[in-house]
């Protein structure tokens, strides 16, 4: 029932969405004695019992952590084992919104595939609705059935059928399907469309969405829909994008000039210095004489750096004896952008602007969504009106 209603405290036998990382989640059945292993350590199921959904849990060794999340169709979409290409949330949420699917709707879905959309449908339909999902691949169908059983969907509103609907249609013995929404994610939806007339509602409008990656499939689908009397046919594409909040360093040109001047000054001083060193090798090189901006930019070097610097300088009798290396001047002088040192994004010693960065792998094309509807032109007897 967890896909239909929230609960607060985890008990033995519950399902928990274990959050390991943004794209790494794992659904576990809390079983006493069992352990979940992740790259961040291992975690005992026993310790999950009694915790709240949403709690952060520390690893068995005292470090590393996971979050114990409540299962939802959206988290499941991120975590599920891919049996087939899945329907992602921007597509599925649009289909549900556009077909006006809600509690009490009767939905036909073919094929089940990885059952990602199946979960989303089931959640939205509630216990008054009904979901008929079909899968023609037997192994996938059995896996999906087990999963839907475990997640409590079969007990509430979902029926899964092993069937090639293109060949054998949608009818289920002893079941008056009366679908008012149809989602076809099939290689050849146009072969399934003629079978729909036997299972869609004869009382109310039925909306359909056919989900196909190729434009040629859309062509054939549209022709089949027209042939079968469906109207208001429209194909659309959904483009979903994810953005992350990041910070980008503000690099001011005046700082660039200041730094160049600093380098120049130190170079001259260096030449001067080396001459002095040659004369009196025991004296340390004096600090370059540069004035810094009071702003929030990192000063030339922190105390720690200065210490290290003086240490190394006292060890190296003469800098000129060292072979020149590009890291030789690390942290020295005016370094407004943290060149050569690892700067944490957002480090308060520097100035930043807030930016959004698009996800690194964009789903540039999921599929074409062909919508249409079937209106049974029939006037209900007056007394019912």
Partner 1 sequence: MEAGKSRGVIEAGRYAVVKLPSEGLKIVELRSHSTVNLGKFGSFKVDGVLGYSYGQAFEIIDDRNVRPIKSLMESEPTEIDTEEEEITKDKLTELFTASSESNQNIIDIGSKIQKLSNEEIDNLKKSGASSEIGQKIIEQMIAGHEGFDKKTVFSQQKYLRRKQQKFLRRFSVEYLSSTLMLQYYIEKDLPRVLDISPETLGLLMTYGNVRPGGNYLLLDETGGVILYAMLERMIGQGTVLVLHENEHANLNVMKYSNLSEEETKLTVKTASWLLFIEPDTQRIEWQPFTQEEIDQLPPAKKTKYYRRHNRALEINDTLDLIQNGNFDGFISVSTLSMPSVLPYVLDRVGGSRAVAIYNQFKENLLETQHFLQVDKRILAPSIIESRVRPYQTIPGRMHPVMTMRGYGGYVLWGTRVFPAENIQAIGRGMSNKKKNMDRVSS
Query: Is residue 272 part of the contact set for partner 1 (CB under 8 A)?
Result: no
Query: Is residue 343 part of the contact set for partner 1 (CB under 8 A)?
Result: no
How many residues interact with partner 1 (rule CB under 8 A)? 92
Query: Is residue 384 part of the contact set for partner 1 (CB under 8 A)?
Result: yes
Q: Cα 32–71–245 angle (5° rounding)? A: 125
Q: Is 18 helix (H, G, I), strand (E, B) or coil?
A: strand
Query: Is residue 205 part of the contact set for partner 1 (CB under 8 A)?
Result: yes
- Listed ranges 187-195, 270-278, 305-313, 377-385: which one lies at the site for partner 1 (CB under 8 A): 377-385
Query: Is residue 222 part of the contact set for partner 1 (CB under 8 A)?
Result: yes
Provide the minimum distance between the beta carbon of 225 and partner 1 in the complex, in angstroms, as a whole number.
10
Give me 317's structure tokens: 């009798």
Q: Which is nearer to partner 1, 141 or 209 (CB)?
A: 209
Cα(48)–Cα(207) distance, rounded to whole angstroms? 43
Residue in 33, 37, 62, 254 binding partner 1, rule: CB under 8 A: 62
DSSP state letter for 9: B
The reply, when asked if residue 164 is annotated as ligand binding, is yes
Provide the minimum distance between the beta carbon of 80 and partner 1 in the complex, in angstroms, as a whole number.
16
Query: Is residue 280 part of the contact set for partner 1 (CB under 8 A)?
Result: no
155 Cβ neighbours under 8 A, 6+ residues apart: 1
Residue in 84, 159, 191, 201 binding partner 1, rule: CB under 8 A: 201
Write the interaction track for partner 1 spanning residues 97-136; mark x where CB under 8 A is met and - where it is not.
xx-x-xxxx--------------x--xx-xxxx-------
Provide the minimum distance between the beta carbon of 122 and partner 1 in the complex, in angstroms, as a whole number.
10
Query: Is residue 367 part of the contact set for partner 1 (CB under 8 A)?
Result: no
Residue with tokens 């750096």: 305
Residue in 164, 171, 219, 305 binding partner 1, rule: CB under 8 A: 219
Residue in 15, 18, 68, 86 binding partner 1, rule: CB under 8 A: 68
Residue with tokens 């004369």: 279
- Listed ranges 34-42, 153-161, 279-287, 293-301: which one lies at the site for partner 1 (CB under 8 A): 34-42
Write the interaction track for partner 1 spanning residues 226-265; mark x where CB under 8 A is met and - where it is not.
---x-xxxxxxxxxxxxxxx-x------------------
Query: Is residue 270 part of the contact set for partner 1 (CB under 8 A)?
Result: no
Query: Is residue 385 part of the contact set for partner 1 (CB under 8 A)?
Result: yes
Instruction: Write the DSSP assignment of 99-130 as a string of letters.
Output: TT--TT-EEEEE--TTSHHHHHHHHHHGGG-E
Closest C-alpha to 357, from 227, 248, 203: 248
Instruction: Write the DSSP assignment of 178-198 as a string of letters.
Output: -BSEEEE--S-HHHHGGGGGG
Give me 125's structure tokens: 């339909």
Give me 254's structure tokens: 């005046």
Provide the minimum distance between the beta carbon of 340 and partner 1 in the complex, in angstroms, as a whole number.
18
Q: Which is nearer to partner 1, 92 or 118 (CB)?
A: 92
- Listed ranges 147-155, 259-267, 280-288, 371-379: which one lies at the site for partner 1 (CB under 8 A): 371-379
338 Cβ neighbours under 8 A, 6+ residues apart: 249, 298, 347, 349, 350
User: Would you say 362 and 207 are in contact if contact means Cβ atoms under 8 Å apart?
Assistant: no
Cα(266)–Cα(259) distance, rounded to whole angstroms? 10
Residue in 28, 36, 60, 75 binding partner 1, rule: CB under 8 A: 75
Query: Is residue 34 part of the contact set for partner 1 (CB under 8 A)?
Result: no
The reply, when asked if residue 185 is annotated as ligand binding, is yes
Query: Is residue 360 part of the contact set for partner 1 (CB under 8 A)?
Result: no
Provide the minimum distance between the beta carbon of 297 and partner 1 in the complex, in angstroms, as a whole number.
21
Give me 187's structure tokens: 């290689």
Closest C-alpha to 370, from 239, 214, 240: 214
Cα(284)–Cα(90) distance, rounded to whole angstroms? 64
Residue in 204, 256, 276, 317 binding partner 1, rule: CB under 8 A: 204
110 Cβ neighbours under 8 A, 6+ residues apart: 133, 134, 135, 163, 165, 170, 183, 184, 185, 186, 192
Known binding site: residues?
135, 164, 185
Q: Which residues contribute to the annotated binding site for S-adenosyl-L-methionine?
A: 135, 164, 185
């Amino acid at each position: 029932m967890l896909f239909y209603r929230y609960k607060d405290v985890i008990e033995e036998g519950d399902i928990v969405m274990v959050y390991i990382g943004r794209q790494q989640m794992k659904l576990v059945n809390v079983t006493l004695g069992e352990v979940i292993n992740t790259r961040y350590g291992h975690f005992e199921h026993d310790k999950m019992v009694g915790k709240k959904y949403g709690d952060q849990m520390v690893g068995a060794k005292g470090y590393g952590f996971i979050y114990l999340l409540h299962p939802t169709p959206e988290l499941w979409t991120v975590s599920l084992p891919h049996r087939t290409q899945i329907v992602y949330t921007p597509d599925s949420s649009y289909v549900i919104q556009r077909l006006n699917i809600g509690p009490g709707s009767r939905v036909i879905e073919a094929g089940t595939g990885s059952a990602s959309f199946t979960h989303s449908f089931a959640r939205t339909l509630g216990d008054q609705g009904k979901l008929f999902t079909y899968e023609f691949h037997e192994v996938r169908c059995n896996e999906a059935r087990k999963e839907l059983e475990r997640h409590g969907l079969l007990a509430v509103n979902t029926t899964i059928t092993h069937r090639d609907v293109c060949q054998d249609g949608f009818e289920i013995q002893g079941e008056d399907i009366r679908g008012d929404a149809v989602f076809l994610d099939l290689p050849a939806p146009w072969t399934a469309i003629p079978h729909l007339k036997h299972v869609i509602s004869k009382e109310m409008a039925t909306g359909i969405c056919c989900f196909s990656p190729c434009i040629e499939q859309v062509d054939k689908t549209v022709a089949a829909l027209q042939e079968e009397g469906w109207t208001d046919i429209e194909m659309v594409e959904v483009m979903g994008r994810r953005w992350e909040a990041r910070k980008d360093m503000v690099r001011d040109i005046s700082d660039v000039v200041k730094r160049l001047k600093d380098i120049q000054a130190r170079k001259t001083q260096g030449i001067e210095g080396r001459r002095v060193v040659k004369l009196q090798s025991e004296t340390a090189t004096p600090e370059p004489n540069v004035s810094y901006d009071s702003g929030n930019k990192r000063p030339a070097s922190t105390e720690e750096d200065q210490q290290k610097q003086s240490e190394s300088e006292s060890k190296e009798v003469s800098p000129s004896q060292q072979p020149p290396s590009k890291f030789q001047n690390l942290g020295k002088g005016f370094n407004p952008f943290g060149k050569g040192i690892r700067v944490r994004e957002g480090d308060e010693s520097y100035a930043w602007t807030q930016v959004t960065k698009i996800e690194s792998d964009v789903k540039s094309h999921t599929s074409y969504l062909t919508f249409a509807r079937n209106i049974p032109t029939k006037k209900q007897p007056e007394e019912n009106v």
